[in-house]
Structure 1
Amino acid sequence: MERVTECLDLLEDYMSRHPTIYEVEKLNFLGAGAKDVYNCTAPFCDEGRQLIAARVESRESEEAHVGFFEQTAEGWRLIPDLPFFPLQDPFVTRIDGQLLFGGVWVKRAANGDSQWRTLFYQGASIRMLKPYFWGPIGMKDLRLAQLPNGQILVLTRPQGRKGGRGKIGYLVLASLNELTLDKIADAPLLEGHFAEAEWGGANEVHPLKNGTAGVLGHIAYFDAQGNRHYYSMVFALDPLTGRHTPVKIIAVRKDFLDGPAKRTDLRDVVFSGGAIRHKESGVMELYAGTSDAEAQRIVIDDPFLDEEQNE
């Protein structure tokens, strides 16, 4: 079994690298009233418009929905005639030319217990999205991505007997039609990423030109007072062999602008939403939720460049 580097050691390594922050800004969302808008995707194109999908909810609640916001001169404005989805933490990708959209669906019982699962919708555009696949009960951060050879990389995140507080598993499918709950349940875990009391998950996949998959995700732990600490991280995975690089933190809360938190235990939270790589300049725009209350954009050195140069 590979040696596991604990989150605090990864944080110390990050601080020792003194990463450069080129730009940082809070995203200005319009049309959502007094509700918080956070944990957004990176911008993507839909019917000729630049959009962001984001989690929308009241500060005192976790009853969320996902709205779609269009870029304007004033900020990102909610498009009220696009569908709203009763989900948390949205994500988008394209597979076989179709938009694949999803998020976490949560069902709360009267006694306070909750069930959750990752739901997927598919269509030519947001207006055409139809239910496609329901992930296993109890699994967040289930992600699909199409590789350059057409195969489908599936990243899982089981919890409990397999996965503890949350570890990443993977499998590769010849096509999306092969996706089943059984295959997700049987996906092997990537060893060496998260210490036993810590957890993490994948948020987005970036196929790299050397054939590996660059994974953008998050790593997290509880401190002794029960506060949550979330950091943006990356690693590279070879889908053919399962070999992968160690987790590397790429952004922490203090890299972003100060702002409110949903609760005091969520002050030190950065939740990776998505990223845009600018290969010509060697930087990456990272879009992330901060403190479960806001969304921000930060520009950093592209953490996948070094991996792409490894043949």
Structure 2
Amino acid sequence: MKNKDFLAVELSKVEEHLLKTLKTRSKMVEESLERFIKSGGKRLRPTLTIIGATFGEYKSEVVVPLATSIEIIHMATLIHDDIVDDAETRRGTRTVQSTLGKNTAVYCGDFLFTRAFMLIADMAEIDMMKDLSKAIAFICDSEIDQNEQRYDQTVDVRKYLKRIAGKTAALFSLSIAVGAHKAGCDKKITSKLTNIGKNIGMAFQIVDDILDFTGNEKTVGKPLLSDAKQGIFTLPIIYSLNSSYREETIKAIEMIKDDGGERLMHCVINSGGLERTKGLARKFIKKALKIKDTLPDGYGKEAITEIIERQLDRKF
């Protein structure tokens, strides 16, 4: 029986493994990546990998490198996101691209991808490598979709959900699935955990999009309304555009750089966009909880319950 300190101990091993794995010949790059690691982050994806593995035969020496590789992939996507967004800070720390320049930052992201695959190659079967490659391709496709949909006032809920299914949920579901698979879980349990991961990921991204309006910069880790200012229309805006506030919302989007988003905030609140978005987040959380109830009792089920319920506590 695993105790309450188990997860903290395993995640501390992941932190150590991250720092050790990201050693490079360039001292400047290494220091920048180290600052990025130490700036924090929820480590939710490696947490899911560890929890998934607890449903089978847990081997720390296998799971920790696997969980580390998942977090490194996530870090690589964040570095590339910051380049595209021209972001100066993330989690209160200067981004890699603002410190080293865009060109070097691109190579840093690529370097992280190769490090992740090197870790995985030591332990993964061909099927796992295929699943990982598919997930990364899905993430990239979704980021391309997001870029192509910038300033598109016709983007609808279906397109948004497809976008976040790849942008965020794909890596969540993969994270927990690879842990379960590597621990020898049967297909039924692995499938349930995969679906739980997907629903947690969908809820997580929707809540993130709510916090872009209602959170504070310290909590969110980046300036508020940063997506809207770049023409990325998330669910609160989509709902507002599809309401009686459509024309006012369009004008508010056009004025966002002048008023800092004050009118847009007024629109998404008064149109009911924020409340409808919260309602959809709750639906995904409810789906995850329903599947969770069918899992065998034990540490893993308790840990998943806590993660799911935590999504409701993110002050949305």
TM over 0.5: no
TM-score of the superposition, structure 1-length normalised?
0.30
Pick the structure with greater CA Rg: 2
TM-score of the superposition, structure 2-length normalised?
0.30
- Determine which structure has the larger strand proportion and give its number: 1
- Determine which structure has the larger helix proportion and give its number: 2
